[in-house]
Amino acid sequence: MQVVIVILAVVFAVFGALFLIPHNANAPNNTTQPEIILSVNSYGGLCANNATCSHITNIENDGTILIDDSVHGNSTQKLNNTELSKLSNLINSENFTALMSHPFTGQCPTAYDGEEFVYTFNTLKGNEIIDSCKVAINSTDALFTEINLILSKY
């Protein structure tokens, strides 16, 4: 009789625990999805196929670089940890208000077969978009120096 009572107690404890422990089917898992921290979209100029050239480079928070080029096709690269850390720190410490306070006053290069660049930064405060035909970009700014270094390397 004692064995039956012990077995019933164990069965009750196991099944009772299953019903008493809260289960949330909508609970987030611990994996994080890659998120784009920088997107550089350049377009303009006439490519060999008589179409407008375009080049999109997206850099994700894990260092993955996704490149979509109208001439050379698609490719995937990877920033090293030092490059990724430096870029992330520069993005999140940039004073975008000051950076965008200098309007571009010339003629957009797309008017004469040149390129326009649109930079989208995913910062801790939200997205910041800088268009080279609307903002006079200071190429000596540390952030843009790093971006140009990365774009020339990859």
User: 142 near 89, Cβ under 8 Å?
Assistant: no
pLDDT value for 31: 58
User: 77 near 65, Cβ under 8 Å?
Assistant: yes
Query: What is 36-153's CATH number?
Result: 3.30.1560
Domain ranges of the chain: 36-153
Distances (CA, A) of 64 to 33, 60, 80: 12, 5, 9
Quick one: CA torsion of 19, 23, 25, 31, rounded to 10 degrees? -140
Strand order in the sheet with 64-69: 73-78, 64-69, 52-60, 36-46, 116-123, 126-131
How would you write the pLDDT of the chain (154 residues) with one tens digit per residue? 443 333 333 333 333 333 333 444 444 444 577 899 999 999 999 888 788 999 999 999 999 999 999 888 999 999 999 999 999 999 999 999 999 999 999 999 999 999 999 999 999 999 999 999 999 999 999 999 999 999 999 9
